[in-house]
Structure 1
Amino acid sequence: MKIDLTDTTASKINKALVQGRRALGTPAVGMVLTMVIVTDEENAYDSIKAAEEASHEHPSRTLVVIKRHSRTSRDRTRSHLDAEVRVGADAGTGETVVLRMYGEVSDHADSVVLPLLLPDAPVVVWWPVDAPDNPSKDPLGALAQRRITDLYAVEDPLAVLATRVDTYAPGDTDLAWTRLTPWRSLLAAALDQARMKVTSAAVEAEAENPAAELLARWLGTRLQVPVERIVTAGPVVTAVRLGTEKGEIVIDRPEGPLATLHLPGQPPRTMALKVRPTSELIAEELRRLDADDMYAIALRGEGPKENAHHV
């Protein structure tokens, strides 16, 4: 069910949500959190689709904040709010409210969102694009226990990464880090099996890849070894090499969903290592809402690191 509201208020939106639930006979008690998506019109569809797919694992109320630029000078001075309320099959397993804000109301999005938050439930804010420099100090970010950004959505990810180091607060995380979970799991399993002291490391990826930079920082900090950044054609992270006294431990994934694991003295093995869709990344981030200490370690990684070079 979809309910369109023009020039509306938070109170009317809440009434529409109740109306929609009653019409479908679906209570709100099954929802476990509020997801706030701050995006533009261009990226709204994909963001909503990802959130709705993630809601099958984490039923939630999704509030989509879109700040619109009015076309006429008259509309620019007129502050108003339009909303689209979706419940039932049109909203995954929860509820979705698309909030289009015009004029001055767009400068006070937190005041609109606050009355729409589920009571006594965690709040997660996700910026698919155009994240603030300091997410925890943003008015919407200040409402949340977790704040999700994406370094893949910026023009200069390494410069923004440097800003993230300075502004990090517990609860911040980034999808560039979430994309590394399968790599980190495979590396941990390989090291447990090999039981060899690592003396050097290298991460291979396309230039300016933020996930590769985070992975290099994490390895350098955790292993206390120099980490070389090798620039390849990509895409994304394509290989990790760990030097030991008995030879290299290598996880190689040049393309496709499969990687090859090489351990010294053992035949190579093929393992699954796919590039996951955004919905899976969001679902992973919603599984735990406390501070991501490993992300903080990787972000501020101070382990030995060598300069990147091309191959």
Structure 2
Amino acid sequence: MVAPLAPHGHGPSVSEAHHWTERADSVAGVETALARAWAAAAAGPPAEEADGSVVLRTRTRVLTLVVVAQRPETAERALTAVARLAARHPSRAIVVGFGDPDGPAAIDARASVRCHLAPGAAREACVEHVLLRLGGEATRHPAAVAAPLLVHDLPVLAWWTDDPPIGSRPFGELAEMADRLLVDSGLFRDDGRERLVALAGEAASGRAISDIGWMRLDPWRELIAGCFDRPGAAGFLPGARRLRIVVGRPGSVVRLPKAALLAGWLASRLGWRIERPLAPRRGGERLVAAFRREGGRVELEIEPRDPGGGPTLRTPGSLLGVELELGRGREHLAVTVTRAGDDLALAATRGGVPVVRAAGRLERFMDAIYLARSLEAVGRDVPFEEALPVAAALAGG
């Protein structure tokens, strides 16, 4: 196993010096509104450094970002994330929000030019933000509304926030026009099985996908992978016997994607094959499954637990703990990762004797962090693409 790369910083701080906003009531009118905003920017007061020197104001964009946000609060949160990244990832950002789907067809657009000056920069970088609020029939075709606003020859990242309707026509239309999709499997509805299976289908069709839920597993995967980089530990990997994953269940539904993805990652890295998909254990709430490995079987158990006064979970189904039991001849290795708040602690014992201790930390959740990673992604995320179909098959796909 190879430890995934750790998240990195997100560039120098910037200040928004100027912005200009125009309104439109049609998609065709958005380009006109942007032209008016650019004209106002050109005629506006020049940007100045602290010493009073004037800097150039320039239009900058390297991609088009399309965000679909079905709830008003999510649309505002997406705009905040985009604004945080404007200097490092200049783009034309199109945020599509939904109004009343049963009301009259309507488009209310707010087109903005926003200029940022980074410390020491010789130019003030200006980007375009477009917020579209759709009503009626338009809510059923967000991709068709956004398509005329894409910048020719620039790559497109499409982010469907909250619970994306993967497999639906609106989602498919958005996926068709994007070079990369961004979703969050931690927010999939109900137990997440249906969406996880559909997401695996999208990946199998060749779409490049980034998943916030998968990225949130990085600290867990890094600790586990790092444990087996220690002398003597890797020799136990062929003898895995049991994997237990504890997930938070603050309500009545056990959300599975994160646990399934972690199990799928281990299975895909170590060559385990699914023998039995997840199913409820008789007389209990736990879910059990089994893998076949060379020379034996690996039992999987997912235990839902009410976090109670424990860590505050961003989403149901967040991991609370992982236990992996392995054997080599008569020797036994037990690896546990526990969570206290946002802190993770790994402990490994060999024959009951402590041999490894390590610590990690869950990154404070910010949309901008994971949006930045998706914008910077190059090529395919092979570990994710190998873990996803296993996770989907475990979930019953």
Fold conserved (TM > 0.5)?
yes
Quick one: distance in 2 between partners of 1:101 and 1:89? 29
Question: Please, which moves more after superposition, 41-50 or 160-169?
Answer: 160-169
8 A Cα contact 1:133 1:163, kept in partner: yes
Residue correspondence of structure 1 range 1-311 to structure 2 within 5 A: 1-8=19-26, 9-16=29-36, 18-19=38-39, 21-22=41-42, 23=44, 25-29=56-60, 31-40=61-70, 41-69=72-100, 76=104, 79-89=106-116, 94-134=127-167, 138-156=172-190, 157-168=192-203, 169=205, 170-193=207-230, 194-198=233-237, 199-200=240-241, 201-206=243-248, 207-223=254-270, 224=272, 226=298, 227-234=300-307, 235=313, 236-245=318-327, 246-253=332-339, 255-264=340-349, 265-266=354-355, 268-301=357-390
Structure 1, unaligned runs of 5 or more: none
Structure 1's 129 and 18: CA in aligned 2 closer, same or farther, altered over 3 A?
same
8 A Cα contact 1:80 1:103, kept in partner: no
CA-CA distance at 1:164 after TM superposition: 2.2
Quick one: distance in 1 between partners of 2:358 and 2:129? 44
Number of corresponding residues: 300
8 A Cα contact 2:34 2:112, kept in partner: no
Quick one: distance in 1 between partners of 2:395 and 2:306? 19
CA-CA distance at 1:106 after TM superposition: 4.4
**Normalised TM-score (structure 1):** 0.82
Question: Please, which moves more after superposition, 34-43 or 256-265?
Answer: 256-265
CA-CA distance at 1:7 after TM superposition: 1.8
Quick one: distance in 2 between partners of 1:16 and 1:187? 54
Deviating runs (4+, > 6 A) in structure 1? 302-307
* Paired amino acid for 2:341: G
Structure showing greater Rg = 2
CA-CA distance at 1:125 after TM superposition: 0.5
Structure 1's 14 and 291: CA in aligned 2 closer, same or farther, altered over 3 A?
farther
Structure 1's 269 and 149: CA in aligned 2 closer, same or farther, altered over 3 A?
closer
8 A Cα contact 2:22 2:36, kept in partner: no
CA-CA distance at 1:15 after TM superposition: 1.2
SS at match of 1:251: strand
8 A Cα contact 1:10 1:112, kept in partner: no
CA-CA distance at 1:149 after TM superposition: 1.6
8 A Cα contact 1:125 1:140, kept in partner: yes
CA-CA distance at 1:215 after TM superposition: 0.8
CA-CA distance at 1:302 after TM superposition: 7.0
Quick one: distance in 1 between partners of 2:218 and 2:126? 26
Q: Percent identity?
A: 24
Give the structure with the higher percent helix: 1
Question: Please, which moves more after superposition, 296-305 or 216-225?
Answer: 296-305
Quick one: distance in 2 between partners of 1:26 and 1:54? 18
SS at match of 2:151: coil
Give the structure with the higher percent strand: 2
Structure 1's 306 and 289: CA in aligned 2 closer, same or farther, altered over 3 A?
closer
Structure 1's 301 and 107: CA in aligned 2 closer, same or farther, altered over 3 A?
closer
Quick one: distance in 1 between partners of 2:23 and 2:374? 31
Quick one: distance in 2 between partners of 1:269 and 1:107? 49
Structure 1's 61 and 238: CA in aligned 2 closer, same or farther, altered over 3 A?
same
